[in-house]
Structure 1
């Protein structure tokens, strides 16, 4: 024994605590449990463990010291270099194995006194036959232990067998070779040149730690992923995934063997019945959690609120296929929601939850600095954020309802979560960098924020982060892509952490593509309102110049002009997909001899990728039919291809498509039905059936556009001139007494005959039968009548009056005001404009019953102002209602196009049907409605037109005269069309205001 050991033994002759911890054993495991966990250990070589074990001997000592196996010397050190006696070894090993003291078993040794400090441990190891005496009835408690003796003891403790006829590199006694070989192979001891030398405390720690660590790992939990996969989590927090050879059966407990760190464990798992639990996860999101992974390709979701269906626009699964996020078309409101999941199990899964209305929960500033907006220091801005109960950022939706009060200056703008305050240019007041400005905000919901902000220098874009390469249909980028459909979505922030807009990015950031031959981006092309939610700054990609398109990696570089910070983003472009399969599908709609129908199809490349674009399919498929014209056309709204078939007479026909690459034909058979005829009245649309009664001779109109008529195939019938050539609609009172006057017939598509005016002289209701009449036989069409109830409601039966939210209007536009109330049954009742008056706070005025903002003026850098108006009811019994709207000087620009039918031209989904006598392309505007960003119709828009392609289907003498192929609508040089005959088609590209573009296909008939 070394001098330090001798000194310590003199001080602690009863219990050397450097060997075991405390007055009480911490570990109380049975030896059988330790050995059971260790038995499999003998089956594996030490290499597996040596690779995992990176701890030093000192680290192992400290870990086991914490666990109560060892304790240091009085000087606080471990002294791993010291040798050890058999008594010291027995003390540590018994503690390691968690053995109970057994002093009686040590009485067989004459050299172990009854009061020996290790008698209990020596006896316990003797009873378990792990350590025995040295011979002649002696244990040798003061005898030092050699490495090969240590090997024999720990091999026995681990339940291993000595390796017979083994060879060991290093010196061993003949009796010890097999034990040393087993200990080295199992990682219990390390290789040394001489195993006969005395072991150190470090050797004991290394060997003990292997036993210790094996005894510490146990199964923590099991998880059934699905019928063929489980996951087992161990006490060391590592997870083992196991794929089963045979699938689990529902409700049947099954034992499965898993392997972890060289040991085998048997776990018992049970496959539960598949369940789904739904909850609201956002204002328009539902989260559906399954108790096991599901087949995501099969899963179909249905959502209902009460008995009303809720549209699911998108379903996204987590990587583990156990959670689905459903995105809804509408917000979740108060009510009971039921989610049904079909086709993932034999029976449909359902889950219900209680919906609640969206609530705003936080209004806060982003950062603590007010950044001056330019070098005049007359204005400063800061970003803020509003979140709802789901922690969603809803600033853009609700930020306009915050009233801001700064301690210095006034509010100049409040747009998309960016508040700007300041002074007018002639105020001669400036902000000073470092000064403190207090800003308080109150949202109409009651949320408040108040903060003292420090003024900082001018805000400039400091960092740019690329969020994703966005495509609305989530398509990959290939050499055959239309690059303008792809947008790099970015987030730009100033030096204070405020989010910057597209103008800031264009002003402050240089961006470029390193290989324009792949694709390009244009400096200064950043735009606001990009991405799926129209709330992100985006930079559109630009097609490369020329016809050559290269695949490869294109690096986009962003450089902050003010801070010279650089961001790079690599975009991978793969080779374009080649059409491989093209399959025709039967149409879901009835084919009848009354025009054309679309034939659905699926097209894929060699890798199974879907191909939908007209530009990718045009000229690559041969189409034929046994009768009628079968062609591929372009949907100008989406750029996708569609197949159109002109339906022949009643009968059975074949349609065939053959891709020019694989030459594998696809054929379908279609039964054409009889020509469609109007058969039923479905009801009314866009008509208020409940109207407040305002007094005698009150009138209201029911027009032909309010009537819904269907044919025998349940398709909507257009009530145009062709319809009224053979049919008319009659409105008849079917009550016992007629409360309204003026019943009659709608007999034409235009003029006085296109509507019926009813007159009410009292608060009452009439049940009205709407009849479809065939004028050729002057008879009602069989089963054609639909009944509706129209009511004029007394004001005494109304409550809950409200005025529509107008939102933001352009100062040159007029805004409509609509007032409604609820009757005693909770139905919405329209309040006629004659029942109330509108007053406005200047400069907002009222013009012809509409709000007029033309008197507003705006200061420099100011683009919005708020205005209030009040609705006052004539009889004075209803409290006035005051509303607020925003007025902006941001000029309206064309944003959307809608199609309609009027004056001989019929528009639908970017296709305009025109007569053969097209006097001017200008006439096509009869079928087009163009709206601005505020939803207002643009009258007399500045539209340019260009004839892009001409398809003379029947070889007619179609020609364009006056002004070539370009003209301005409404101008004398508008393009005239001559020689048009039925079947001719041509495409016209409209350019509105020099920026908004759309293309239509004109069909002459």
Structure 2
């Protein structure tokens, strides 16, 4: 729902006990009310179905009218809704009674001395009191004319909706007792975010809340219509606006016969439709299948030329004048076809060149002077289309009106700043006939020592050449410029000496935002000499905005510890990593532009860490079939240091021995099972002295001791009916594990079955001892070993198209030198755990002055680099460039 923020008069929050829905002692009894309310809301939804569908964005008045039809609200005697009036406790009691279909009970209101039996609201006050939704103010008073606060409405709305209070931040002012109820109501969309929830509620707010409690639930998202909307586009319409989660879950399959056509979806601003773009879309009958919806038939027609136009309004006495001749198809899209174009200078009686561009500058074969009339004829015989248009040769001197609008910041920027490229100067020129005058393409720059230049009959004045020095004009007449290194205000004036038209612009060019205040926080981990430790921070820039980690620059920030300057490194997450080279307790002082910040933190730097023990192993089998083996190296061995932290042992810093090599031996980085029996394996490390060894027992069993087998987990498979999953990396090998009679898992000599079968080959297919999906469903895979079936496993197949699920650099930090690039790998996997061989994505470098897009070092320093996949899944790493 949409809420309009209202200003409510201030009022102290009332005692929460007035609204008994919040008291634990009545919650159990109130459950019957919630059930009754749910039943009532079903009836209300039916009434709304004909007048106010859930997908309709109704005004508050329309919602009031719908509630009025249900008898929940009444208007004032003059017929008005009184939406701007405050809600009284008596009115609130009536709404609650009607909404929850409580039985009116005037007798129950007799306990209040200020509610006489003749009071219009006595039946409703009694009913809401009996239901424990409302209570008195004390001293047997109800206060029927008193106001209701927003937070009190939140509490009762939560009760009627069956919502529990939640822990969460509430941005507006709220009483401590109401915070959980307000948080739940805001999260559920029953209340808007407000500056204060302690203010008195208006009738409009209660109308909005009541309508949301009574309206029907949105239906499941469905595609209801699909039509061709372009030569290579199909527009699909939904039954209601798609949420972010619904859009993320949607998949599309556009097929003609057995052939699928991959699509890219672009959603409308209101998310009620999506345009599906296709690289190639031949004419014919298609079927569009949207996940969760029935297939829709789409008729695709061949692209046809329907209109030809000359879009240029004038031309200039300059080179490469674009006549703007375009042929449009039946969807209004410009086509990639070449009409026949000829131009004739009517004023000079001279035939000019053919084609969509003319060179009209002085001395050219097609030379034309100001005010000449050029007749342009365009013909597209294939469709019987033709057009004529006379264009006047003009330039800026024809402009009788010049208008310059404010320069907008670049996309992604909050303001115009120094050293920015491609800013647009929005200037409009209009002649005496109201025609737009377009400047010819070209560039212009201030000469040394000058503040003005002439271009196309206009004079441009630029007050400070250290801020802006010139501009470029493209073939569409769009003026772009760059800012230089100086910040400040530059004044740009454009004058037409021929008509005296003029326009001015004062452009503020800001310096690059830099740190204004900086505050460090304490680390949650032990700080050890010689090791990197992350210290949290908050930084605010010169414009008062919090600086995101990715945007943090420490150019004007210095740190001091132990009496010396220290320089942290920003890691891939934008965190600051500090390294201390001495032990003891110290304060870290922060200086911004040489000014010490008010907050300091103390850290205790401890002695260098030492490994104390081999702490354990991982990913290593402890029971083997005779002749089986297991890789066993540094990746499988865990060390513990004197601070209780664990890490893998370094290569070459460990040894593995067996006390019974006839049973288990360590050979070539593997544990090799040689005979049935038991052996004790000892793992030692020389990472430093005094490290305790780790021992574990390995059992080896004869093949005859393996009494059963199981298929290792296969996981959900991707299914595509054309069988391309067989070769596109989505086939999965079926492997086995052995089991002893007691259920112990045994590492096998060979975990590859003799062959596998599938119960339903229309869902899942075999290729050797691997399987691949064909269509959505579930079926059973059976594995055969030594001539007999040994194991079954049910496998699920999904037709959801693969999308990027994870992106990962092979390192968090790379080191290189100027002129060189580090070897790096980015692994992209889909939701099926398969590597995407040719992913669509790009690398974004935070500081391109340090490395380029291929991570080649350009100068000494460090920067973050981010790989962004097509669906915005990303991973970040740091590149450090040394001399």
- The TM-score by the shorter chain falls in which range? 0.3 to 0.5
TM-score, with structure 2 as normaliser: 0.43
| Larger Rg belongs to | 1
Larger relative contact order (Cα-Cα within 8 Å, sequence gap ≥ 6): 2
